[in-house]
Amino acid sequence: MAPKPKGGGGSRGDRPGGKGSGAESRDARRAANLKGGKAARDARRAEGGRKGNKPPAPGAPDPRGEGYWGDQRGPDYWKARKAGKIPPPSAAGRDDAAGPGRRRGPGGKPGGRPPKGGASSGRDDRGPRRDDRGPRREDRAGADAPPLPRDMALEGQLLYGRNAVHEVLRADRRTVRALYATSATASAEEWLEGEDVRLADADALTTLAGSPDHQGVVAAVDPYPYVELAELLAVPSPLIVALDEVQDPQNLGAIARTAECVGATGMIICRHRAAEVTPAAVKASAGATEHLKVVQARNLADALAEAKEGGAWVYGAAGREAGAVDYTQPDYTGGMVLVMGAEGTGLRPRVASTCDALVALPLRGRLDSLNVGAASAALLYAILQQRDRVDRGT
Question: In the predicted model, what is the mean pLDDT of the chain?
Answer: 78
pLDDT in tens, 249-283: 999 999 999 999 999 999 999 999 999 999 999 99
What confidence category does residue 80 fall into, taking pLDDT thresholds of 50, 70 and 90? confident
Tell me, which fold does domain 157-221 have in CATH? 60s Ribosomal Protein L30; Chain: A; (3.30.1330)
Residue pair 245/345 in contact (Cβ under 8 Å)? The answer is yes
- Among the ranges 28-32, 208-212, 317-321, which has the highest mean pLDDT value? 208-212
Three-state SS string across 132-156, please?
A: CCCCCHHHHHCCCCCCCCCCCCCCC
* Mean pLDDT confidence for 153-160: 82
What is the predicted pLDDT for the residue at 148? Answer: 76
Of residues 125 and 205, more confidently modeled: 205
Confidence bin at 216 (pLDDT 50/70/90): very high
- Dump pLDDT digits (tens) for 358-367: 999 999 888 8
Q: pLDDT over 70 for what percent of the chain?
A: 66
What 3-state class would DSSP assign to 46?
helix
Q: What is the pLDDT of residue 73?
A: 63
Higher pLDDT, 28 or 234: 234
Question: How far is 202 from 217, CA to CA, in rounded Å?
Answer: 9
Per-residue model confidence (pLDDT) at position 151:
66
Task: Please write the tens of the pLDDT for every residue from 325-378.
Answer: 999 999 999 999 999 998 888 899 999 999 999 999 999 888 888 899 999 999
CATH number among 2.40.50.140, 3.10.20.520, 3.30.1360.230, 3.40.1280.10, domain 229-392: 3.40.1280.10
Query: Quick one: pLDDT at residue 389?
Result: 83
Contact between 244 and 372 (Cβ < 8 Å): no
154 has pLDDT over 50: yes
Lowest average pLDDT, out of 66-70, 180-184, 231-235, 318-322, goes to 66-70
Give the range among 150-154, 173-177, 179-183 with minimum mean pLDDT: 150-154
Query: In the predicted model, is pLDDT for residue 69 greater than 70?
Result: no
Q: What's the pLDDT score for residue 14?
A: 47
Report the 3 state secondary structure along 343-372: CCCECCHHHHHHCCEEEECCCCCCCCCCCH
Residue 147: band (very low, low, confident or very high) from pLDDT cuts 50, 70, 90 = confident
Question: What's residue 27's pLDDT?
Answer: 73
The end-to-end CA distance of the chain, in Å, is 111
Per-residue pLDDT at 356: 94
- As a whole number of angstroms, the distance between CA 174 and CA 172 comes to 6
Taking the domains of the chain in order of start, what are their residue ranges? 21-96, 157-221, 229-392
Give residue 333's pLDDT. Answer: 92
- The per-residue b/e assignment along 149-183, b for 16 or more CB within 10 angstroms, e otherwise, is eeebeeebbbbbbbbbbbbbbeeeebebbbbbbbe
Judge whether residue 150 has pLDDT over 80: no
pTM: 0.62
- The pLDDT value given to residue 90: 55
